[in-house]
Structure formats: structure tokens, C-alpha cells
């Protein structure tokens, strides 16, 4: 079987031809994005170098993103055009898998990062189990600092590759002791990896006709930015009539949710408590509860409705409780967070909280430790 | 803010050339103004100043034209035909905004939601007579404020 594959998802363009399980020719060009001018002649060169003609190819393949929008479109158009003309099937391979496949056999974790601009990268965490590529965690589009923070808890070596490495290598190196970086030959996506994965897809029967191939750009949380502009989030003190909505969010967020009665007590009877809610679209999107005890603030709970997560609302709530503590002349803020709740830990760290201790087996449901965090004001 | 009166098309081109002396890769320039107020002429001047040898035309139908013959690449957008900011994202606009060239965006109002905070906005209005144009430049962000300061200082006496 003969597979011709290309990759144009980053600044480099490449084409490769695998015939009966062996790589016959691979052409890799990294001279600045001019894919539209070069990719057809590169494909032509690769096929001819193997003594073949385009009609001899059984399957065509390209990477389908994420990556450079323009690059991806050029590559997909080229492959679709050729496949349509010749009546041959095609298969599309996700770019992050292509990158991970460059490091086949690596024992630790593999973290491809593709530049998504605005300090963001497209990323997924992989691991090889034998020859099979396993997806450990899909980060989609993520701010690089958040990604580094989210990778903090992993002890294994993490190999980074992709064009994001050119931008963030030092930052990663300084923050993660277990970070490794792919060598120069493997750092960008390679068409030979696309071809290898295309053969696996072929064996699994995942072939498409030219008009069924879809690119997967991965929309970054630009939606988040837009959302903030179009949907104003206001933070106000929580009122008694809002308890029902808050109890619902509590139930959607925690294994051992507080009851209506608990919130009722907090709002109506407890003089030390201060509860705030984030409102948007006329709904409660999230809330935060605190106790003001002497010169300290104790955060009791913070949660955001699942419909409104990943929109910076949690961050707004944290910022607001910090403001409240400052305005009330308090000296420090403390909270407990589940050991496994890395996303929350990252959010608190970003706002200046530091882990100062543990409460062993604090959470009855899983027996997990709580991390005690403090912020000095 | 910088307000410049242009008495003619040639002068609008010259103002574009003036601006070209102060721009750097990664800069974003948004042009707003009715049809015929000189947005494309202004861009021609900017391109000429950058040393672009190709003929610069309005990308109304192509949406983006890219020019590489100058000292810095020029990405010229006309987003008049785009239905929403979403379509702009689908184009992969961030690759241009944060790329190695200057981005000039005509009809920027259509996609304002998704533009980076920092940018130079240029508003073109018809002045007191048929040929006169009032060109108002507003800087958002320090680097663009510096550009306007430099332009003010180096402004050659006209007329």
C-alpha cells in the first residue's frame, strides 16, 4: 500500500511517501510560510523520486489542525484536490497526534505545544503504551502559564515539542524540572508521522472521500474574551432569595454539597459571613463565601456554574474577595483546596495564594488531603 | 490623538508614507471611514513608504492581500464583506496580528470585538470641501502613543 502524506500546519511544509510499510521519501522544508507556492511541487517531487505517479497512491493524508489556519487550508485544499481528481480516499490526522508520533517510543509524557498567539498554545498531553498513543489530557487552547501550572503535578519526564517550544522553552525550563525538549529533527510536525498515523487509520477503516474531510482549527477561548465584552459579569452581595440558585450550583460542583439550610444560616444568621455572587444574563453564574474572623478572611466555598466555566468568572470572584478583605482592613486570607483540584490551585496561585500546609484526609468522600493556602495582604 | 487635514488624494498618500517611518512588525492599524474617504489611498502611501513595489489594490473581494516586497511585510485586510467577528477568527486573523508584518484593517468596526486592545485607529472623514479629508489618529497602548508622538514631532509643514 502506498500512502502520500503532507503537513503544512506550522511554518514548515513536508511531504512523505510510505510504501508497504517503509518510508521511501520525505521532503521537509522550513523556510517561512509560503506553503501555497511550494506544497504542490514538493508533493510532485516526492512521488516522482519514488518512481511513481500520483495515480499509484492508494491513500492521501494531511494534518487537520490545530495549527496555522492558512497553512492548514493550503494543505487540505491540495490533498482534497488531488484525491478528488484521482478518485482516491483520504484521511486527516490531528496535528497534536502527528507531533506526539514524532517521539514514538518515548517513555514519559509527551506534550506538543502549537503557538495559538496571545500567549496561548494548543496542547494535549499524550503517553505511549507500547505503540499506541494515549490521550492523557486535552487542554485545547490554553494560556501557556496555565498549561505550565496544570502540568505541575506530573512527576514523569514531559517531552515538549511543536513551534510553541521556540517561544516558551525558557519559561517551561524554569518552571518544570522534568521538562525535556525534542531534538531539532523532531520539533515540528513531519509528514512521515502523518503517513504512519494514516496507515493506522486505514487499518481501522477510517477513510474519507475528499468532501468529507474537515479541518479542526480548535477555537481558542477568544470566545472568552468576546464573552467578557458582550456579557457583563457583575459581582454583588448575595441575597436570601438567591439561595436556591446557589444551592443548585453547589450541587453541580461538589460531592458533599452544602444544604439550603447551611446557606440560609450563612446569609441570614451568621454575622461573620460575607457572600458574593457573580451575575450575568440575569442568572447567577457563580458565588464565593467567606467568613471574616478577627483580622483573617476564611474562604468557605467558591463555585461556578458548569455553563459558565472557563470564562474567567472564578478569577473575578477571587479578585473580589481579595478586594473585600483589603477594604475590611484584614491581614490575610486562607482557604482549603482539594489536592487534586489543580485548576483551582492554579487560580489561587495566580492571585498570590501560597500553599502553607496540609490537612490529612480532609475530604471524607475520597480521603484526599486538603491543601491549606494563605495570602498575606 | 492626532488630527491631520489632507487637502488632496496625494497628500493622503503622503500621510500614509509618513506613518510608514514609525511602524514596526506586529503593528495593527485600523482604518474607518466611508467609501471614497481614502482608506486604500492611505494604505498605498503606507506601502510605498515601506518600499513595497507591487501595486496595492483594495482587498474588498479577496479580504486579505499580502505584500512582501517592502522592508516589512504588509497584510492588508478589508473586512467589509465579513458577516461577523467569528468569520474573522476563522480566517486566522491572529496569525497576522501577531505575525511579522504590519496589519492594516479597513472597516475595522465590523470586527472590533476581537481586535487586540493595543492598536492605532485612524478615522477618515470628508472635510469642508470635496477633496479635503480630516484624518484622526487615536492610539491605544503605549507603542502607538509613541508613534503618534513621533509623527507629531516630525510632521513636515504642509500647504
Nearest to A226 among B85, B97, B98 (CB): B85
B26–A contact, CB cutoff 8 A: no
Q: Which residue has the higher pLDDT, A217 or B140?
A: B140
Residue ranges of the domains in chain A?
A: 2-94+188-210, 104-181, 226-376
Shortest distance, CA B159 to any CA of chain A (angstroms): 43
Distance of alpha carbon A5 from alpha carbon A185, whole angstroms? 18
Q: What is the pLDDT of residue A32?
A: 75
Nearest to A117 among B85, B91, B94 (CB): B94
Q: Quickly count: other Cβ atoms within 10 Å of residue A230's Cβ.
A: 10
Distance of alpha carbon A190 from alpha carbon A251, whole angstroms? 47
> What's the pLDDT band for A221 if we cut at 50, 70, 90?
very low
The verdict on ipTM greater than 0.90 is: no
* Contact assignment for A217 to B90 by CB distance below 8 Å: yes
Identical fold between A2-94+188-210 and A226-376: no
Burial of A327 (0-12, 13-18, 19+ CB in 10 A): exposed
Q: Quickly count: other Cβ atoms within 10 Å of residue A293's Cβ.
A: 11
Distance of alpha carbon A154 from alpha carbon A354, whole angstroms? 19
Residue pair A136/A96 in contact by the 8 Å Cβ criterion? no
Residue pair A80/A215 in contact by the 8 Å Cβ criterion? no
A246 phi/psi in degrees, rounded to 5: -70, -40
* Segments of B20-143 assigned E as strands: 28-33, 64-67, 74-78, 102-106, 119-126, 133-140
Q: What is the pLDDT of residue B159?
A: 43
Q: What is the pLDDT of residue A225?
A: 52
Q: What is the pLDDT of residue A247?
A: 95
In A, which residues are within 8 Å of B26 by CB distance?
Answer: none
Percent of chain A with pLDDT over 90: 74
In the structure grid, which three cell numbers stand for residue A333, read together?
A: 486570607
Distance of alpha carbon A347 from alpha carbon A150, whole angstroms? 10
Query: For A130-145, what is the mean pLDDT?
Result: 89
* Contact assignment for B94 to A70 by CB distance below 8 Å: no
Residue A147, classed as helix, strand or coil, is: helix
Domain A2-94+188-210 indexed as CATH 3.40.50.2300: no
What would be the CATH architecture of the domain defined by A226-376? 3-Layer(aba) Sandwich (3.40)
Whether the per-residue pLDDT at A223 is higher than 50: the answer is no
Angle at A289 between CA A283 and CA A295, to 5 degrees: 145
* Contact assignment for A69 to B91 by CB distance below 8 Å: yes
Q: How confident is the model over A30-72, as pLDDT tens digits?
A: 987 688 889 999 999 999 999 999 999 999 999 999 999 889 9
Percent of chain A with pLDDT over 70: 96
Using an 8 Å CB-CB cutoff, list residues of chain A that contact chain B. 68-70, 116-118, 217, 219, 222, 225-226, 229-230
Whether the per-residue pLDDT at A112 is higher than 60: the answer is yes
In A, which residues are within 8 Å of B113 by CB distance?
Answer: 226, 229-230
* Contact assignment for B114 to A226 by CB distance below 8 Å: yes
Distance of alpha carbon B72 from alpha carbon B103, whole angstroms? 10
Nearest to B92 among A68, A225, A230 (CB): A68
Size of interface A-B (CB pairs under 8 A): 28
B94–A contact, CB cutoff 8 A: yes
CATH fold for domain B2-150: Rossmann fold (3.40.50)
In B, which residues are within 8 Å of A219 by CB distance?
Answer: 89
Nearest to A117 among B85, B91, B98 (CB): B98
Whether the per-residue pLDDT at A84 is higher than 50: the answer is yes
Residue ranges of the domains in chain B?
A: 2-150
Q: What is the pLDDT of residue A255?
A: 85
Check if A348 is active-site: yes
Counting as low any pLDDT under 70, the low residues of chain B are 155-159
Q: How confident is the model over A235-272, as pLDDT tens digits?
A: 999 999 999 999 999 999 988 899 999 999 999 999 99
Q: What is the pLDDT of residue B111?
A: 85
What strands lie across the sheet with A109-115, from one edge to the other? A132-143, A120-129, A109-115, A158-161, A179-181
> What's the pLDDT band for A161 if we cut at 50, 70, 90?
very high
In B, which residues are within 8 Å of A36 by CB distance?
Answer: none
Q: Which CATH class is domain A104-181?
A: alpha beta
Residue pair A105/A128 in contact by the 8 Å Cβ criterion? yes
Residue pair B84/B55 in contact by the 8 Å Cβ criterion? no
Burial of B9 (0-12, 13-18, 19+ CB in 10 A): middle
Check if A308 is active-site: no
In the structure grid, which three cell numbers stand for residue A341, read together?
A: 483540584
Amino acid at each position: 500500500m502506498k500512502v502520500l502524506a503532507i503537513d503544512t500546519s506550522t511554518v514548515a511544509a513536508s511531504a512523505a511517501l510510505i510504501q508497504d510499510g517503509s518510508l521511501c521519501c520525505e521532503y521537509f522544508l522550513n523556510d517561512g510560510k509560503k506553503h501555497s507556492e511550494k506544497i504542490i511541487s514538493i508533493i510532485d517531487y516526492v512521488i516522482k523520486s519514488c518512481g511513481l505517479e500520483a495515480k499509484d497512491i492508494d491513500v492521501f493524508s494531511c494534518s487537520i489542525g490545530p495549527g496555522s489556519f492558512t497553512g492548514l487550508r493550503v494543505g487540505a485544499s491540495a490533498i482534497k484536490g488531488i484525491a478528488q481528481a484521482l478518485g482516491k480516499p483520504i484521511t486527516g490526522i490531528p496535528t497534536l497526534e502527528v507531533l506526539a508520533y514524532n517521539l514514538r517510543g518515548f517513555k514519559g509524557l509527551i506534550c506538543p505545544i502549537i503557538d495559538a498567539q496571545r500567549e496561548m498554545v494548543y496542547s494535549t498531553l499524550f503517553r505511549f503504551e507500547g505503540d499506541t498513543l494515549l490521550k492523557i489530557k486535552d487542554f485545547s487552547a490554553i494560556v501557556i502559564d496555565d498549561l505550565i501550572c496544570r502540568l505541575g503535578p506530573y512527576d514523569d519526564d514531559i517531552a515538549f515539542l511543536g513551534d510553541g517550544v521556540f517561544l516558551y522553552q525558557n519559561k517551561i525550563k524554569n518552571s518544570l524540572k522534568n521538562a525535556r525538549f525534542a531534538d531539532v529533527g523532531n520539533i515540528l510536525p513531519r509528514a512521515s508521522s502523518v503517513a504512519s498515523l494514516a496507515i493506522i487509520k486505514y487499518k481501522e477503516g477510517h477513510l474519507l472521500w475528499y468532501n468529507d474531510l474537515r479541518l479542526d482549527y480548535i477555537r481558542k477561548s477568544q470566545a472568552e474574551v468576546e464573552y467578557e465584552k458582550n456579557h457583563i459579569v457583575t459581582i454583588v452581595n448575595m441575597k436570601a432569595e438567591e439561595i436556591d440558585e446557589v444551592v443548585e450550583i453547589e450541587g453541580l460542583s461538589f460531592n458533599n454539597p452544602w444544604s439550603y439550610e447551611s446557606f440560609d444560616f450563612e446569609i441570614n444568621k451568621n454575622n461573620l459571613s460575607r457572600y458574593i455572587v457573580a451575575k450575568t444574563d440575569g442568572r447567577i453564574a457563580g458565588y464565593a463565601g467567606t467568613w471574616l474572623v478577627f483580622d483573617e478572611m476564611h474562604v468557605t466555598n467558591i463555585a461556578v456554574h458548569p455553563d459558565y466555566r472557563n470564562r474567567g468568572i472564578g478569577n473575578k470572584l477571587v479578585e473580589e474577595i481579595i478586594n473585600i478583605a483589603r477594604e475590611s482592613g484584614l491581614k490575610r486570607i486562607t482557604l482549603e483546596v482539594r489536592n487534586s483540584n489543580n485548576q483551582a490551585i492554579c487560580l489561587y496561585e495566580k492571585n498570590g495564594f501560597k500553599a502553607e500546609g496540609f490537612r490529612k484526609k480532609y475530604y471524607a468522600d475520597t480521603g484526599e488531603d486538603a491543601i491549606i493556602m494563605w495570602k498575606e495582604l | 490623538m492626532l488630527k491631520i487635514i489632507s487637502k488632496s488624494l496625494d497628500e493622503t498618500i503622503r500621510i500614509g508614507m509618513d506613518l510608514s517611518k514609525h511602524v514596526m512588525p506586529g503593528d495593527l492599524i485600523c482604518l474607518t471611514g466611508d467609501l471614497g474617504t481614502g482608506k486604500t489611498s492611505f494604505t498605498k502611501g503606507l506601502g510605498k513608504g515601506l518600499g513595497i513595489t507591487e501595486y496595492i489594490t483594495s482587498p474588498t473581494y479577496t479580504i486579505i492581500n499580502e505584500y512582501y516586497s517592502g522592508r516589512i511585510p504588509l497584510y492588508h485586510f478589508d473586512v467589509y464583506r465579513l458577516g461577523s467577528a467569528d468569520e474573522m477568527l476563522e480566517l486566522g486573523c491572529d496569525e497576522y496580528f501577531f505575525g511579522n508584518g504590519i496589519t492594516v484593517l479597513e472597516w475595522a468596526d465590523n470586527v472590533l470585538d476581537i481586535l487586540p486592545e493595543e492598536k492605532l485607529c485612524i478615522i477618515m472623514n470628508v472635510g469642508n470641501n470635496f477633496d479635503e479629508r480630516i484624518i484622526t489618529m487615536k492610539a491605544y497602548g503605549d507603542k502607538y502613543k509613541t508613534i503618534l508622538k513621533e509623527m507629531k514631532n516630525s510632521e513636515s509643514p504642509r500647504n
